[in-house]
Structure formats: C-alpha cells, structure tokens
Amino acid sequence: MIVVDTTVWIDFLGARGTPYHLHLRELIRENAPLALTNLIYCEVLQGIVEDLAFRRTREILQAYPILHGQGLGTFEQAARIFRACRRRGFTVRNTVDCVIAATCLEAGAELYHNDRDFETIAKVGGLRLYQPFHR
C-alpha cells in the first residue's frame, strides 16, 4: 500500500505538472493500492477555499482507504520518532508528520511524499518511502 502525502495531493489536485502530480496520475490510472491517513485528509481539505472544490476533493479522497492510527500507541510512536530524530541532531518541523509516519509504520505502508521531514524520519525511524524517481 502507498500512502499519498498532502504534498503530492496538492500538486495533483492543482494540476501543477510536477513529477509528483504526473506520477500520481499514473498510479491512479494503474489502480495502484493508494491510501491516505486521516491527518492527510484533513490537511488537504483545510486548504480548500471554495465549497464546490471542497466537495469534489472530498469525493476524490474518500475513494481511497483512509488509515487511522491505532489509538494512543500511535501518538506514543510519533513521539518516539520525533525524539529519535532530535537525539540524532535532526529537527522535524511538523509533529503531524511524525503521526503520519507512525500510522504508515503501523499499516506497513510506504509513503509517497515531497517533504524533507519524511526523509529525516526515514533515516531514523524506519519509515519506508515510495520513490519512483530520484530527487
């Protein structure tokens, strides 16, 4: 399963023509096993101003499985990820990214992203990254 991060959804939904947008379009055409987390769902929707666009985006996102953490343990794992990064001298800028990473780890999913915090988390916390091309 490939969890698609907010950064990639934003490129895709905005038809930005980036490699991330184009590759996600290809994954969708191929019926790849895509998913998102509840926090990614929230992040994408909160950035939408227009009501019609909000409703359309919600329908698009709800076509995929939405992963939820497994309770308090998910947040403890997120805290462990953050602390492990800090111990190694890395700063994770967004706690939400640690929760997304913990949710992916629980589900055994790869994460398709365009966010340097996930690169850091992968180095320290074992997060598997989906990378169809090199940066």
**CATH code, 16:** 3.40.50.1010
Q: pTM of this prediction?
A: 0.92
Report the C-alpha gap between 17 and 2 in whole angstroms: 21
Report the C-alpha gap between 7 and 30 in whole angstroms: 21
Report the C-alpha gap between 4 and 11 in whole angstroms: 11
Q: Give the residue numbers spanning the domain of 100.
A: 2-125
pLDDT single digits (tens) 19-55: 999 999 999 999 999 999 999 999 999 999 999 999 9
- Which of 109, 128, 29 lies closest to 65 in space, CA to CA? 109
Does residue 135 lie within any of the structural domains?
A: no
**Does residue 6 surpass a pLDDT of 80?**
yes
Does residue 68 lie within any of the structural domains?
A: yes
Does residue 133 lie within any of the structural domains?
A: no
Angle at 119 between CA 43 and CA 85, to 5 degrees: 95
Does residue 42 lie within any of the structural domains?
A: yes
Does residue 89 lie within any of the structural domains?
A: yes
Does residue 109 lie within any of the structural domains?
A: yes
Report the C-alpha gap between 83 and 88 in whole angstroms: 9
pLDDT single digits (tens) 52-82: 999 999 999 999 999 998 899 999 999 999 9
Does residue 64 lie within any of the structural domains?
A: yes
Does residue 81 lie within any of the structural domains?
A: yes
The whole-number pLDDT of residue 29 equals 96
Whether 43 and 113 have beta carbons less than 8 Å apart is answered as no
Structural domains of the chain, count: 1
